[in-house]
Structure 1
Amino acid sequence: MTGAWIILAAYILDRLIGDPRWIPHPVISMGKGISALERTIRKRVSSDQGLKRAGLLFPIVIAGGSLVLTWGVLYILGLVHPVVAVIAEVVLIATTIASKGLKDAGMEVYRHLKRRDWPAARRSLGMIVGRDTAHLDEPEVVRGTVETVAENIVDAIVSPLFYALIGGAPLAMAYRAVNTLDSMVGYKNEKYLHLGWASARLDDWANWIPARLTALLLITGAWFMRLNAKGAARMVRRDARLHPSPNSGFPESAVAGALGIRLGGHNVYHGVASFRAYMGDQSRVMEAEDIVRTTRLMFWSAGAFVLLCWLVTFGIWTAGGALLWK
């Protein structure tokens, strides 16, 4: 049952303190490593085919290196004392999740909206999304916030805990490296189309199971919260695969159905208009309280997944004990 305790402790630690700015975060080191590797590659490779082959180095060096380094640190700490290694693993797993940070970002936008401080709300939203926010009205600010919180339930909570359950802090840290790679080089634009393809593809694969699991957790959370669980399930079946991402549509469509709102639509990125497929039906105008409801759904889903980790671990432990007694 040690793995379940570690995951629970890591989740509680993140809920309580999040990512204090005065503590060096592993993602910063990952980002520096990615930038350094990119500079090295671009100095030596210029052709499209060469960049595509070199793109394989990012998952191998950054994600693989994160896994090996984390395992090595924990192994050495285990030689000092097993308890020291366990504490370190809790802290390391906590750095791979961001439930408090995600809630704080969403609620900052919410507080500005409740004070009717539209410029501040747009600026706060602009800190967490890539779209242009300077001219958005209140429903569009709410939409951007709800979409971001919903999508990141997978990346920031369920996926890292999923991999922590399978392989502890080393695999959770490797996942965080994959996710960081996708956010830095996984773009389908002229600059990264060839160099970042492997990172983008690996991120899609890594989130495939957690995204669908998150949709189930959100449907369950909607039922507990007395929201529209049937609507959430229906929208996942109908709309999830319309999203340009193979994974993001699952949490977004589930939230849209649970709240009875429509996500997706027209966005502007650096002055260029873009349309994203609609998720859900527009039964009403979005309001600031939808941010609060989405945040609560996020915590229901996260808590349910931590409980699921306990049940899985207990089941494995019980089955192992039964085999030993035979």
Structure 2
Amino acid sequence: MMTLGAIVAGFILDLIFGDPHWLPHPICLIGNLIGFLDKKLRRMLAPGETALLLGGALMVIIVLVLAFAVPYAVLTLAEHVNPWLRFALETVMCYQIFATKCLRDESMKVYTALKDNDLVDARLKLSWIVGRDTKELDAAEVTKGAVETVAENTADGIIAPMFYMFIGGAPLAFLYKGINTMDSMVGYKNDTYLYFGRCAAKLDDLANLIPARITGLVMIVASYFLNLDAKRAWKTFWRDRYHHLSPNSAMTESVTAGALNIQLGGDHFYFGKLVHKETIGDDIRPVCPEDIVTTNNLLYMTAVLSLLLFSLIYLVNSLILK
């Protein structure tokens, strides 16, 4: 029950405070570790595809062991001192893992720039939260980029870590964040990371397989509660849920496109190279900056409904085990 309380309390703290810039963030520490291993292991590797694959696999093992073992050890020691100390520390950990308010705040910076008709600033703000090239995007593509990243990260940044919290507490959620952070840093299909980052990318696909689908389904229910087009959200989800290079990303993007009656996806440039992507949804109406606001509302409703769903399953399971 203390783990459940820590998850709920951490979720609420994230909604209220987000990620204060002055507070050291453990995900940044994981990112620093990945960057360190990326440089060190590459210097030690012999030339060749096999060496890069093995080096990338070694990096994954080191990051996952530390991402899980450190918070597990801290919480175990705290438990021996006082159970309430463990509860307090796990609450803080859960709070730092969630990214609901941060995702909303960063995407709303894009919205504000668009409303101010400052396309240059909107492109810059978008570049902070997406991997695609943004310097040549028009206002519609900037809006789509913000909508897509909020939709995709509803799963990656909120529901997936929440899913793993309910299974194994903060340590398992940190392990997931280690996987997700590695994918965001080295999981690219370019000349640098095609082999070195392959293990991280495939593991991220596997880790998000169940959470992404749960998120998509809960998001359809959330669209109903928000008086969006829930019927088209389901239809688009079923038809377009695999219209992405990732096996998971279109699960939530398809629901969002259907709920808002817009079309997402399509070709984009990454690191100067054109990447062909299928479209998601139907071009029923043109996108507008307000779609960013609506997608954030969908994000919040999906997060709350998922928390209620997971908490109910957790409580029922606890009663059964007793």
2:42–2:55 contact (8 Å) kept in structure 1: no
Output aligned runs, 1:152-163, within 5 Å: 152-163=153-164
The farther-off stretch of 215-224 and 265-274 is 265-274
**Any idea what SS the aligned residue of 1:299 has?**
helix
- Equivalent residue number for residue 32 of structure 1: 32
Partner of 2:304: 303
Q: Which residue of 2 aligns with 1:54?
A: 55
Equivalent residue number for residue 90 of structure 2: 89
Aligned residues: 321
- Tell me, what secondary structure is at the counterpart of 2:241? helix
Match of 2:283 in 1: 282
> Deviations 1:253-289 (Å, cap 9, x if unpaired)?
0100011000011322233333321000000000111
Sequence identity (%)? 42
The Cα shift of 1:126 comes to 1.6
Q: Distance in 2 between matches of 1:300 and 1:278?
A: 25
> Are the aligned partners of 1:4 and 1:309 in contact in 2 as well (CA < 8 Å)?
no
Distance 2:215 2:124 in 1: 29
TM-score by length of 1: 0.95
The answer on 1:226 being equivalent to 2:242 is: no
Q: Which AA in structure 1 matches 2:220?
A: I
SS at match of 2:275: strand
Name the residue aligned to 1:318. 319
In the alignment, the residues of structure 2 paired with residue 168 and residue 68 of structure 1 have an alpha-carbon distance, to the nearest angstrom, of: 12
Residue 150 of structure 1 aligns with which residue? 151
1:128, distance to aligned residue in structure 2 (A):
1.2
Q: Does 1:263 align with 2:264?
A: yes
Report what 1:17 is aligned to: 17
Counterpart Cα distance in 2 of 1:21 and 1:231: 39
Shift of 1:105: 0.9
Whether the 8 Å contact between 1:30 and 1:180 is mirrored in structure 2 is: yes
SS of equivalent residue, structure 1 residue 23: coil
Aligned partner of 2:35: which letter? S
Equivalent in the alignment of 2:238: 237
Aligned equivalent of 2:41: 41
Decide whether the 8 Å contact of 2:3 with 2:87 is kept in 1: no
| Distance (Å, rounded) in 1 between the aligned partners of 2:137 and 2:242 | 27
* Secondary structure in 1 matching 2:29: helix
After superposing on structure 2, the runs of 4+ consecutive aligned residues of structure 1 that deviate more than 3 Å are none
CA contact (8 A) 2:56 2:199 kept: yes
* Structure 1 residue 230, shift from structure 2 partner: 1.2
Determine if contact 1:58/1:181 at 8 Å carries over to the other structure. Answer: no
Q: Which residue of 2 aligns with 1:324?
A: none
SS in 1 for 2:52: helix
Within 2, Cα distance between the matches of 1:308 and 1:10?
Answer: 16
TM norm structure 2: 0.96
How far did residue 84 of structure 1 move?
Answer: 1.0
Alignment gaps of 5+ in structure 2: none
- Partner of 1:268, secondary structure, is strand
Return the alpha-carbon distance in structure 2 between the equivalents of residues 77 and 256 of structure 1: 45
User: Quick check: 1:113–1:288 contact (8 Å CA) kept in 2?
Assistant: yes
Structure 2 letter corresponding to 1:172: A
- Structure 1, unpaired ranges of 5+: 322-326
Distance 2:315 2:283 in 1: 42
Q: Deviations over 1:224-258 (max 9, x none)?
A: 11111111111111111121100001000010001
Query: Distance between the aligned counterparts of 1:175 and 1:58, measured in 2?
Result: 15
What is the CA–CA distance in structure 1 between the aligned matches of 2:110 and 2:186, rounded to whole Å? Answer: 28
Amino acid at match of 1:145: A
Between the aligned partners of 2:133 and 2:183, the Cα distance in structure 1 is 21
Structure 1 distance, partners of 2:267, 2:194, is: 24
Q: Once structures 1 and 2 are overlaid, which stretch shifts more, 88-97 or 199-208?
A: 88-97
Q: Structure 1 residues 206, 114: CA separation in 2 closer, same or farther (over 3 Å shift)?
A: same
Residue 106 of structure 2 aligns to a residue in which SS? helix
Q: Mean alpha-carbon deviation: is it higher for 270-279 or for 73-82?
A: 270-279
- Map Cα deviations across residues 197-235 of structure 1 (whole Å, 9 max, x no partner): 111111000000000001001100011111111111111
RMSD of Structure 2 on Structure 1 (CA):
1.2
Q: Which amino acid aligns with 1:12?
A: I
* Alignment deviations for residues 283-311 of structure 1 (CA, whole Å, 9 cap, x no partner): 00001111111000000000001101210
Partner of 2:292: 291
